[in-house]
């Protein structure tokens, strides 16, 4: 696949049917990657998917008129959390993987988020090494694990919690752990370990 033909843009209501199709494909083909299920969403009317597009910033990767991948972005609600956004619903069709589609989608989410939030958060199933590597290459850092986050057909899935700090003034060396030995922290910092 030629990556030059890929166009990333926000999905509109006119894209609702294509969005529904790719979303259901993702839920059916990669059920462990989503908090929702195919069974829950496949009976939803097209109007439900339209509302989802209205309520979130959902990007699509197109080659010609074919929707290859999607990624959603939503700003947290609440006065104390509105500085954070969530990357959600990321899915790329199998025939478009390894072509840079996922990377372009995440980069587009990051570009959009820079004007709206300070931190982007996401969660990824622990076994999805390809996605973890992609997010890490784009600057996301793992900060925790939610054990048994998802359960499907009697099987539990852990989710890795990751975040990207968009604040360019952030300096991790300024963080001090309460009760930590200052000399030891200074030694680690001078060795390049933060």
For the chain, how many structural domains are there in total? 1
Domain that holds residue 138: 3-190
List the CATH number of the domain containing 103. Answer: 3.40.630.30
Answer whether 145's CB lies under 8 Å from 113's CB: no
Mean pLDDT value across residues 42-51: 96
Rounded Cα–Cα distance for residues 83 and 102 (Å):
24
pLDDT digits (tens, 9 = 90+) for 124-159: 999 899 999 999 999 999 999 999 998 888 899 999
For the cut 70, the answer to whether the pLDDT of residue 3 exceeds it is no
Rounded Cα–Cα distance for residues 134 and 14 (Å):
30
Rounded Cα–Cα distance for residues 11 and 108 (Å):
13
pLDDT digits (tens, 9 = 90+) for 21-46: 999 999 999 988 898 999 999 999 99
Cα separations in angstroms, 107 against 59, 101, 115, 118, 119: 11, 10, 13, 15, 14
pLDDT digits (tens, 9 = 90+) for 81-93: 999 999 999 999 9
Answer whether 35's CB lies under 8 Å from 27's CB: no
Answer whether 102's CB lies under 8 Å from 92's CB: yes
> 151: which 2 tokens?
């359960």
């Amino acid at each position: 696949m030629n990556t030059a033909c890929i166009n990333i843009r926000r999905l509109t209501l006119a894209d609702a049917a294509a969005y529904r199709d790719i979303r259901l494909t993702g839920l059916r083909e990669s059920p462990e990657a989503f908090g929702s299920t195919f069974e829950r969403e496949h009976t939803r009317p097209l109007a439900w998917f339209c509302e989802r597009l209205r309520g979130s910033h959902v990007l699509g990767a197109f080659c010609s008129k074919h929707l290859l991948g999607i990624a959603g972005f939503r700003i947290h609600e609440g006065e104390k959390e509105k500085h954070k956004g969530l990357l959600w619903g990321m899915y790329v069709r199998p025939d478009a993987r390894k072509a840079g589609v996922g990377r372009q989608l995440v980069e587009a989410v990051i570009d959009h988020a820079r004007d709206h939030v300070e931190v982007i958060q996401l969660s990824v199933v622990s076994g999805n090494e390809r996605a973890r590597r992609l997010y890490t290459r784009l600057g996301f850092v793992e900060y925790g694990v939610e054990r048994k986050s998802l359960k499907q057909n009697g099987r539990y899935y852990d989710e890795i919690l990751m975040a990207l700090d968009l604040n360019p003034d952030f300096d991790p060396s300024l963080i001090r752990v309460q009760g930590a030995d200052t000399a030891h922290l200074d030694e680690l910092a001078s060795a390049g370990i933060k």
